[in-house]
């Protein structure tokens, strides 16, 4: 089965439960949402710089009952630009910087797609596979991926869940997964739309691809 990579864990390792969780997940892109993005890719831990306020935003989402799943396309891994371990070091830096800004900015999962566009993987956004796997891990469901979430055998309720990202691929993943999608200004990051994310009545942004 075509599955994403998972930060510092085997893909099907168990995930810590959360008391009182209503099933809502905040699926967040990484570059341009939590940290500063680069046209030539963030290629090392030293290049990963937190966007101001990201830690406080993640903590606010957790306080509102969301679990946090980072879903990031990282095709440079399969292109040979950096390794899985070098990517893990970047994600370690992200975790450290988020918690340094706010001790409650805990990430439940970081999932990544190492696949290049020409590999046509459903776990590369705009495919919904990373979102499907995030849901399945947090809900203790069998791992399964499909190009459309509606085609999965095991159905689930996404509650208030949403995808936040700065690219069309993120909106496509939200659409294919059947949840709200919110566009982020990559120069500002998640803090720029936090009030919208915390508004359960906000339907998100229309798919424009």
14 belongs to a structural domain:
no
9 belongs to a structural domain:
no
Domain count, the chain: 1
List all residues 6 or more positions away from 36 whose beta carbon is below 8 Å from its beta carbon: 42, 49, 50, 51
- CATH label of the domain that carries residue 86: 3.40.50.1000
Within its chain, how far is the Cα of 82 from the centroid? 20
Within its chain, how far is the Cα of 126 from the centroid? 12
End-to-end CA distance of the chain: 28
Is 200 among the residues known to form the active site? no
Q: What is the mean pLDDT of residues 72-101?
A: 97
5 belongs to a structural domain:
no
Q: What is the pLDDT of residues 140-195, one digit of tens each?
A: 999 999 999 999 999 899 989 999 999 999 999 999 999 999 999 999 999 999 99
Q: What is the pLDDT of residues 56-85, one digit of tens each?
A: 999 999 999 999 999 999 999 999 999 999
Q: What is the mean pLDDT of residues 22-50?
A: 97
> pTM for this one?
0.97
Q: Which of 31, 108, 166, 170 is catalytic?
A: 31
Alpha helices in the chain (DSSP H): 54-63, 76-79, 84-101, 129-138, 168-177, 194-197
- pLDDT attached to residue 208: 52
Q: What is the pLDDT of residues 7-34, one digit of tens each?
A: 999 999 999 999 999 999 999 999 999 9
182 belongs to a structural domain:
yes
Q: Which of 12, 29, 40, 200 is catalytic?
A: 29
96 belongs to a structural domain:
yes
Structural domain that includes position 116: 22-197
193 belongs to a structural domain:
yes
209 belongs to a structural domain:
no
Phi and psi dihedrals of 15, rounded to 5?
-120, 140
- pLDDT attached to residue 115: 97
11 belongs to a structural domain:
no
The number of C-alpha atoms within 13 Å of 183 and in the hemisphere containing its C-beta is 10
């Amino acid at each position: 089965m075509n599955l994403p990579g998972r930060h510092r864990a085997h893909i099907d390792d168990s995930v810590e439960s959360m008391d009182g969780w209503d099933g809502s997940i905040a699926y967040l892109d990484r570059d341009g949402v939590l940290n500063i993005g680069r046209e030539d890719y963030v290629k090392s831990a030293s290049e990963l710089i937190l966007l101001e306020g990201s830690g406080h935003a993640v903590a606010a989402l957790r306080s509102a009952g969301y679990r946090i799943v980072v879903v990031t396309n990282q095709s440079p891994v399969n292109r040979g630009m950096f390794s899985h371990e070098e990517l893990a070091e970047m994600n370690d830096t992200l975790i450290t910087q988020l918690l340094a800004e706010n001790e409650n900015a805990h990430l439940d999962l970081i999932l990544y797609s190492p696949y290049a566009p020409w590999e046509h993987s459903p776990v590369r956004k705009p495919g919904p596979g990373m979102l499907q796997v995030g849901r399945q891990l947090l809900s203790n469901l069998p791992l399964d991926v499909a190009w459309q979430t509606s085609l999965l055998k095991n159905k689930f309720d996404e509650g208030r869940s949403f995808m936040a990202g700065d690219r069309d691929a993120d909106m496509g993943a939200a659409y294919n997964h059947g949840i709200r999608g919110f566009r982020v200004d990559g120069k500002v990051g998640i803090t720029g739309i936090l009030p919208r994310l915390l508004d359960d009545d906000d339907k998100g942004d229309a798919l424009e691809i």
